[in-house]
Amino acid sequence: MALIDIVQFHGNDREFVWKFPSENLRLGTQLVVKPAQVAFFVYRGKICDEVSPGAITLSTGNIPLLTTLISLPFGGDSPFQAEVWFVNLISKLDNKWGTMRPIQLEDLKYGLVVPVRAFGQFGFRIGNPRKFLEAITGTAKVFTAEQIVEYFKGVVLQAVNVSLGRAFVREKISVLEAAVHLDALAKHCSEAIQAELGKFGLELVNFFFHSINIPDEDASYQRLKVIKEKAAELNVLGRDIYQYDRSMEVLKTAAANEGGGAGLMQAGVGLAVGAGIGQQMAQQAGQFVTKLPEAGTPPPVPAQFHVAMNGQAAGPFGEAALKQMVAAGTLTATTVVWRAGLAGWQAAGTVPELAVLFAPPPPTAPPPVPPGA
């Protein structure tokens, strides 16, 4: 076969590794390495000399490792056989990725495990061409961008599966808030992806999330939305009012569905259960701070009272909730109540702090004028 006078790779944006088709070289052959390329001489599977961009005429002086292995004589145009591999160093940015199956993640803010799907894009380049050539190429004469993407897409997805849950923990956010934290989540995942790609001589140029979502039809997603709505309602209404409203809803529903004495008893049980929903939160909120009453002024209502309803203890309720119950007629002067400090259950009207709630409103018009006045 004829000896080769010029060795070069014209290159394109698809081929990242390319082997020159002939091994018949000679001292005096011109090697052309274009910008964003690097060339390697390979002899019997061993990577020898690396050549940077530029045009060189092969001599024993610029391929010293190969010269030693082949024992090339100095001077002349001695023929020899060796492989020349070119590695393309351009970046490939438009590589799409997406989870084939949802990732099961726990929403730490609301305590539910939900299936999460993620989609995005990543870019890469060959940062260490020698390592990449040793680890990946093997006997292939051409290694394209598509082959690299196909080969490493699994690496990217595995890193996302492992890192995404940790990213939510580090950022201390709910899965429902992912859409406004895509950049921060991507940054966490990028670190893990780069660690994996670096083992093969690749560099991660960019990594993005296009979307992170939960299937709308998933039951756990629906539950998560309900929990979030209830938490928002609690924050808006305040703990005591929210607790009272939930209790009244349970009472009304039970009374409407059951009817009769048994229904009212069950409604009382429901009221106690509903009230218990916010009990721990109400206790954490602490008691209301009040000032000492002035002379002749009824003492203020203390923070917490238990109310007996249909044989069940409901509460404790704060001042705002008790006033609403009086207005709704569910708390009367004869309703028995208890608070810390009372020896036992007492009628609400006999407890000084509550008696003021049942006092008749002051007249809005003057009484009749006495005769002879």
pLDDT at 253 over 60: no
Superfamily of domain 92-217: Band 7 domain (3.30.479.30)
CB–CB of 312/269 below 8 Å? yes
pLDDT at 263 over 50: no
What order of strands is seen across the sheet that includes strand 142-144?
A: 46-51, 37-43, 83-88, 15-19, 142-144
Q: 3-state class of 206 per DSSP?
A: strand
What was the pLDDT predicted at 53?
Answer: 95
Mean pLDDT of the chain: 79
**What is d(CA 358, CA 45) in angstroms, rounded to the nearest whole number?**
98
**pTM for the structure as a whole:** 0.58
* Domain-wise residue ranges, the chain: 6-88, 92-217, 238-358
CA angle 43, 47, 49 (to 5 degrees): 95
Mean pLDDT of 254-261: 52
What was the pLDDT predicted at 129?
Answer: 95
What was the pLDDT predicted at 43?
Answer: 93
Choice among 141-145, 270-274, 301-305 with the minimum mean pLDDT: 270-274
Choice among 194-198, 263-267, 339-343 with the minimum mean pLDDT: 263-267
**What is d(CA 53, CA 32) in angstroms, rounded to the nearest whole number?**
7
**What is d(CA 39, CA 106) in angstroms, rounded to the nearest whole number?**
49
Q: Which of 156, 164, 198 is nearest to 181 (CA)?
A: 164
pLDDT at 12 over 90: no
Choice among 41-55, 185-199, 237-251, 355-369 with the minimum mean pLDDT: 237-251
Asked if omega into 361 is within 30° of 0 (cis), the reply is: no
